[in-house]
Amino acid sequence: MKKKDDISEENGKKRKSQVAKNSKRKAANASYRIVPAILKDVEGIANVLKESFPGDASYYKIRSWQNEAKKIIKCNKNWLSLIAISDNEVIGIIASRHLKTKPTPTVRIEWVAVSPSARGLGLGTALIEEIKKWVKDSFSGQTVRLTLRTRSENQDFYRKLGFRCYGSGWMKMRTD
């Protein structure tokens, strides 16, 4: 059994590391902007997707990362794609689509990716939160289903943000 002193030392260490993590995230937060993706960002988006998803584009049933990047900036086709920019470089992307399901509309998150060098700083979380904010504003308070498909090793990331598993590989949450 652990002694009382050992437990309070462990808790102290945990608190310190949480404080350090928070201040790192705060500093990172100030260094990027999250904005809608437009045509000039295609190259940057394709790069982030390519370095974030292992294997060939064909594995994901898409023609090329460049082609996918072009597709996801087409907001006239029900896509909403946001990017995080730091020093004029795309360092993160979230791409989602509005599906007109009834009675509850669905916004399906198709891609979330953060450049390897920018991971662990809260950017993935910030991108999801930004989409949630957009959904809340755009659907004026109506409940919307947010869904996504992901590999099991990423599920904890989404669980922390309020998503729950349903079906094989699918996760969802409702905005209220």
Ligand X SMILES: CC(C)(COP(=O)(O)OP(=O)(O)OC[C@H]1O[C@@H](n2cnc3c(N)ncnc32)[C@H](O)[C@@H]1OP(=O)(O)O)[C@@H](O)C(=O)NCCC(=O)NCCS
Q: Which residues bind ligand X (CB under 6 A)?
A: 21, 52-53, 112-114, 119-125, 150, 153-154, 156-157, 160
Based on CB atoms, which residue is closest to ligand X, 18 or 143?
A: 18
Closest residue to ligand X, judged by C-beta, is 124
For residue 94 the two structure tokens come to 């979230």
d(CA 17, CA 140): 39
Minimum distance, C-beta of residue 155 to ligand X, in the bound complex (Å):
7
ω before 36 within 30° of 0 (cis)? no
Based on CB atoms, which residue is closest to ligand X, 58 or 152?
A: 152
Residue among 72, 86, 65 nearest 37 (CA): 72
Give the single-character DSSP code of 113: E
Three-state SS at 95: strand
Minimum distance, C-beta of residue 82 to ligand X, in the bound complex (Å):
13
Minimum distance, C-beta of residue 110 to ligand X, in the bound complex (Å):
8
Based on CB atoms, which residue is closest to ligand X, 106 or 150?
A: 150
